[in-house]
Structure formats: C-alpha cells, structure tokens
Structure 1
Amino acid sequence: MDAFFASVEVLDRPEVRGKPAVVAHDSPRSVVTSATYEARALGIRSAMPLTNAKRLVPNVIVLEPHFEKYRHYSRLVMKVFNDFTPLVEQLSIDEAFLDVSGAIKIFGTPEQIAAQIKQRVFEETGLPCSVGVASTKFVAKLASTKSKPNGLLIVPEEDTLKFLHPLPIDALWGVGKKTAEVLNKRGLHTVSDVAHSPEQSLIAALGQAAGSHLYALAWARDPRPVNSEKADKSIGKEHTFNEDVTDIEKLKATLLFQADHVGAQLRKAQLEARTIGLKVTFSDLESLTRSRTLPEATSVGREIHKIVCELLDDLRIGGRAVRLIGVRSAGLVEAGGQQLSLWEDETDPWKDAEIVIDQVDQKFGPASVRPASLLRKIEPTRESGTPG
C-alpha cells in the first residue's frame, strides 16, 4: 500500500489531498508515523521527530492517527488478495506477497492479475497501491518499491538480472548507510559490482551471514516460497524467581538471558520484531508492562536486552521486590525485508556472533555458549517461553 496510514486519513479529509501531510500526535515529543508523498518530496520521512518535520515544512498538515481504522482497511485489502489466491503471506498491516502461479488460468497473465488487484483495491477501499511482479519475493518487493506511488512494474524472469544489476547497492536487502560505505570503499557501487565480487571478499568485509546473504541476492537467488501460514504474533520468555528479587543488576542479567533466548527464537523462525516489551510482576502481584516500537525490526539479543533494560530503568521500581520478569517481541516481520540499521551502531559485532552461537547450540545443545555475566547472576527458575 502507498503511504498507507496517510492515505487512509486523507479518505476522511479530502481537502488534504495533494498537500504535504503527516500522521502523528501533535505534540512536541511525537514522531512521524506516515507521510504523504507530497511531504516526502519535501524531505519528511517516517520516524522523523514531528518538530523536525515542522521545521522543514512549516505548513505541513498534522493528522491524528486512528489505528482501528487502519486495521479495518487492512482487512479489506487482504480480503481482495485472498479472492485471487489462497497463497497470501501478509508481511505487515499494509504489505503482502502473493503467489499467483495457480491463478493464471482463471485471471489471466501476471500483469493482468496485478492490474485487477490494483483496480479491486481502489474500488473497494479508495486507496492506491503499488504492485511488483517477479519470479522471486526479493525482486517482486523491489519492483513494487520502484513502481511507487500507485504503480505496476513487471520483471520477467529472463530479465531479472538486467533489472537488478544496474541498481545501486542499497537496493539489496540489508544494505544500510554503513554497509554501503564499507562496500563503496572496496569500489562496489552497483548490484552488478557485488555480484561479480568473490563471495569470500564480501564475507571478509561484512561477516559470514551478511556477505553470503548479499552475494545471493545480487544474483537474485531467493528460493523462499510464499508462506500463507500465520506466523506467531509474538515470541517471549518469562522468568519466575524462587525468591523475590530487589537487585537491579540481577534483574538485568535475567533480562539478558531472556533477550538472548527471544533473539535466538526469532532467528530460528526467520523473523524480526518491530516491538519489544517488558513485563514485571511484583511480590504483591501487581504487574506492569512497557513496550517500545522500533524504527526498524531486530532479532539481535543484545539490542533487545538494551531496550528492555531502558524500559526497566524508566519504571523506576525503587527497590520493590520482583516476583516475575519477562521479555516479549511483537510486530513480527519476515527477516531480511529491510535495511539493517543495527549494522550502524554498537550492536554491530553481535549479529554475526549470535548466529555463530545459534550454530554451536544446534550442534552441542542449548546454552552451550552463554555470556560470562550469566554464570552467577541467574538461578534455576520456573521459566516459560511464550509464543503468542
């Protein structure tokens, strides 16, 4: 969908159509949730502080968000998709992959199916969408992005590399600003440059997982099928202490154990989380929950741990005795479907390290490798993994 939240709001505010507008709570600490294409043309982006957006475009129109409305229109859109094929993999509230190979005899060529989908979505919701058609999920997503707004782009299988190779390297999933800088320093500026580099050279520059991932994508190798099964809504881990705990450091050590577990489960399921949550139950059985939605999804345990520790600090529990503590990840999306900003901060070394730990645990059993900080700071307790 094109600027989904903003497009939905404009349905009820037709006077806003064609003007720079953002979806956000109109408050000093708010961030932009969505922006019209007119606002984007002036430099406004999602996750930008609203104060910055107003400074950039003083006359920008601020539209209050209505999330139930977005869920309603999402259901209408997904119903249209399911009328064409049962093989629909919903990535988020406003995006999905469709395998239409079985629908060609009924609805026509892939291009005709794509055009029909666009028409049906607009007729039944009034909303524009962009469609990319290709032989792999990666290239189809890339084609849909290239066709925005309100576009349709077909990439025939035999023309895949002709389409892909001239593109800049940041077209590849996983290439953010820092990764692009590393590759640019090696003289790599296009997807073709990456494809024609030795794979081991990419691995040396970026690590095993990232190097192999980018090399495969540069040759349009993406064997993943469209998966219509519903993914877990959340993955979490809770920890009940044998005796109530007041030591903040012990609580944070427990959170590290749980965050590492949640990260490993996300990677095993090939998912990433957009929202990280903390649950604390005190000795009097009062429970508090806090969560944070991230600009970009993650499956890195250390990033999850950093966030839940910040949430714990924000609670200011002041020595209250804690009976249970837990970490939850939600807003799950398919891994690798976005730029990995985690490569650009202090969690850089951890992504590959945690993948190696996954491999060791698979070979020698769970917790074969664990942080030294956990050796004495957590106890055998009643724990529960909580996929939702």
Structure 2
Amino acid sequence: MEAGTEARVASVMHVRCPDGLPEDVYRQVLEQLAELSPVVQALPPTAALVELKGALRYHGVDGRRLGEVLRVRTISRLGVDVRVGIGPTVTVAATASGQITGPGGVLAVDPGQVADWLGPLPVEALHGIGPRQAQVLRDYGVHCVGLLAAIPPDTVQRLLGGRAGRQVADRARGIDPRPVTPRALPASASVSRTFPRHTLDGAAVRAALLDLVVALAHQLRGRGQAARGLTLTLCFAGGTSWEKTRRLPEASAHDDDLRTLAYRLIDAAGLQRGRLTGITLKGEDLIAADQVAEQISFDGAREARWSPKRSATASAPSSDPARSTPPPHSCASPDPPDPTVEARAVLLQPPGLPGLLPHTLPHWPYATALDQALVARGVPPGTVRLNLGARPDERMRIRLGWDASRCAGPGGIRLLWDEETGWAYAYVGPGDSIPRGPVTSLRRVYATPEAVAAAADPLVHTGRPPAEACEEEWPQADAVRAAIDACRPR
C-alpha cells in the first residue's frame, strides 16, 4: 500500500462497551482488541481506541470486517456486545460509534464520505463538543455539523474561545491529527471528597485526606497499578483552588507511602484560615504493579507490613487500615522503640512537635501499645497527639481523638491521658470539646492498652462510656515512668 493511499484509509477504531461494565470484563475486552492490533489506547471506564493500519495490511481486510470480527469474539467469549465506529480520525470514529443506537453494531465511515456523513448530524453529536458548547452554537443558529464546518474558524473561536473554538472548527471538517497512543492502563486515578459546609484545616480535613489515601490505595491495588506521584487539589469557598504535585521516591500503591506524601502536600499548602469546600487526591503517572522494582530495604518494620502475603490481601474489599494487622512491637525494654515502627490506627496527625521524632518522647511506647490495641479491637482510625513536657511543671499527656465522621453521635470523642490523673474523656462539638470527666472504668493511671481500647470502642460507636471496670496496670508502666523522670528538665 502506498503512503498516499494509506493516509486515506479509515484505520481508527473506536469501541464503546456497555455502561456499568465491570473493570475485569473491560480488561478482557482490551485483551480482545490487542489480538487485532498492538496499538490499543484504553479510555476507561468503557471505551478504547485501536489503530488498525498494521492490522489492515496483516489480515488483508477492511476496517468494517475487523469490527465485525471483534463483535463476534466479545459476544462469544465474554458475552458482551460492543459498538464499533471506524473512521480516518479519532473524532470521526468516536462520532460513528456514538451514532449506533442498538446495544452493538459496526459503523464505518470512509475518508471520502466524512463531510457528507458529518454534515446532517446535530452539533452535539460531534465527538468532543460538550453540552454547553452545543447550546452556545444553537443559540447562534448553528444546529448541524455541516453548518458549523461552513462557518469561518475565527467566528467559531469568538463563540467558544480560542483553543476550544479552533479544535471544534477543525473536527467539524474531519480534521483531527491526534494519534492513537498505546495505553493499556489509565494514566491517573483520583478520589474526591466534598464537604457539606465550609471547613477549616484541622482534624476534619486530615480525616478526609486519610479516607482519600485509603480509597486511592485500594483503587490502585485493585487495578494492579502503582503511582509515581500524587497531586493534591484543595477547593476553597469563593471558587479558588490550590494544586500541587510531588513525586514519590518510588512507584507505590501502599497506604503508608501515599499517606506520607499526601501529608507533605497538605502541609505545603500552609493553610491557616482557608475555608475548604472540597479536596481531591490524584495518583499520577501510573504504571503496572508488576513493573515496580523491588529494592532491598533495611526497614524491617515496613517490610513486615508490606510482605508479599500482606500485599496480596491488601486489595480485599475492606480497605479500613484499622482492620489490618499492626507490625510487631514490644516495649519490654526501656530502650527507645524502633523509630520505623509507626502508629497504624491513629494516622491523621504526626505526634510530637515538628522536627521531633516520636520515639524520642518517653511516653511514646505507651502510645504505640495503645495503637496496637485499638487496631486489634477494630476501632476506626483517629488522631494522636503527645506533648513534650518541656517545662518542669508540665505533665506528660496523650490525646486520642475521633472526629464526627468516625463516631456514631453528632460530634467527636476525645480520650485524654495524664501521667498523674490517668484517663478522661470529652465530647467534641462544632466549637470545642465538652469535658465529661474521668473514664471510671479505667482505675489505674497506666491502664492496660486492651482496657483503653475496650473503653474507646463504646465511646466511638455508641457515645457511652463502658461500665466494666479494669484494675490491671500495664506491665511496662514502670519503664515509662522512669523514662519520663529521666527526661524531665531539672
């Protein structure tokens, strides 16, 4: 086939699958397309493009015949009928597939028929024209593609804007230089959260961000993908937005890796009194998970959390990090715990002060043991804060918090620990917390972590404190007391 003839061949195939097609079936449709041609561009969730130039030479048939072969294969092998449009450009092929009214069919438009075929179609039928653009054109009396093609491009640009108007004017004439770019998997994945009312930066925003991290990680693992970067978009009252993108050290779909970078992104926003209306987290530059290089690591705790067995179960339907098994950790030794061991249930805020590693705080072993007990109990993720005790008269404290999105009642819950008075709780309303007094079931200052988790469970899930008392003290209490005394300023 000569080059000049090849350029006039209808070699672009646009395939539309039924709406609501499961992702695993969609992937099987992509595999069927790959049997026809190696140049397949996935357009999730239910469409795809195929470049047929090489396939036409190889099979010695026209595009319509290949479209019919595809339909036979998807119906017989997958039980799925598809609509197939074939044309010389992406726009013509996609418009053709959109004109098929039944659940399946093949519509091919030869290069010499493009103008006559597009002309009578309503402007909204042209692939790439949105509802607002179509309405603007109709308001000015442009009802069909043929009339749109007859209007000078400068006029279309004045109606729809510079770049958009230029693209619409070209596509109405059948001009679309876009190539079919091989892409078997989506290039990005995003999750969003809209706040019902204006929200200031705080526990509610970080709780929403954690939910998005968990949802995005679960989505990536379900697709068999990993992200090389993250983009965080914050939408503010008044319509303004802030966006920032950062690269991950290595491609990952692990909650820990995504969460760490997500927190760096939101910290970079420098929020003070900005009123947020929504937040979006997007995984960028996605690759197949089997392409991620596995590097040797000396981080034993992280390796234990993300062993192949854990990773295989990470894509299970339950994506709540509170349901996962925490890394092994023991506070039997008065030495500082391994700094790589990280709280797994209380993920929203880093403990301590900026620049201060949590393991340097003497009561961090108690907080870590509490965290493991909360995980084992199935208490939802919340926040943890530990003070420094920098002044001689300042007592060491731990604050565990769950906002309203985690609790059964109208507000949140706080559990407060003081090195002298022990455990108390408070309800958190729209303005501030309302102290409710000590947790009477916890009779010891260093109550066992299991008893604290047993007290947190009904508070979070029902809003009521437990009735069963616990007299037992945590076995490592003396070691933590000694560590607190040793670090107290003299």
Q: Specify the TM-score bucket, using the shorter chain as the normaliser.
A: 0.3 to 0.5
Larger radius of gyration: 2
Larger % of helix: which?
1
TM-score (norm: length of structure 2): 0.38
- TM-score between the two structures when normalised by the length of structure 1: 0.47
| Higher relative contact order, structure no. (Cα contacts within 8 Å, ≥ 6 residues apart) | 1
